[in-house]
């Protein structure tokens, strides 16, 4: 059973019991990714490391552009 099947079972059960339907799979994915990014950025700032441009800096270093 995948996430969509489980969602359909839960939505059916909620409808029969008169409860609100659960959120569809993937509804909050963007918010979760944004929260993870913000947390990692905050951790880097607390550790005294640069909080921006890390990926760009590593790519330039790997390619020998800097």
For 22-48, what is each residue's pLDDT tens digit?
999 888 999 999 999 899 888 888 888
Per residue in 43-65, pLDDT (tens digit) is 888 888 766 677 777 888 888 87
Q: What domain range includes position 39?
A: 3-63
End-to-end CA distance of the chain: 50
- pTM for this prediction: 0.51
Non-local (6+) Cβ contacts of 50 within 8 A are 44, 57
Count structural domains, the chain: 1
DSSP letter (8 states) at residue 53: S
> Are 21 and 15 in contact, with CB atoms under 8 Å apart?
yes
Confidence of residue 18 (pLDDT cuts 50, 70, 90): very high
């Amino acid at each position: 059973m995948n996430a969509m099947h489980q969602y359909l079972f839960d939505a059916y059960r909620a409808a029969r019991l008169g409860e609100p339907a659960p959120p569809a799979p993937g509804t909050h994915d963007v918010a979760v990714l944004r929260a993870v990014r913000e947390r990692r950025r905050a951790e880097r700032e607390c550790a005294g490391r640069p909080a921006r441009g890390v990926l760009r800096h590593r790519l330039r270093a790997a390619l020998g552009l800097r």
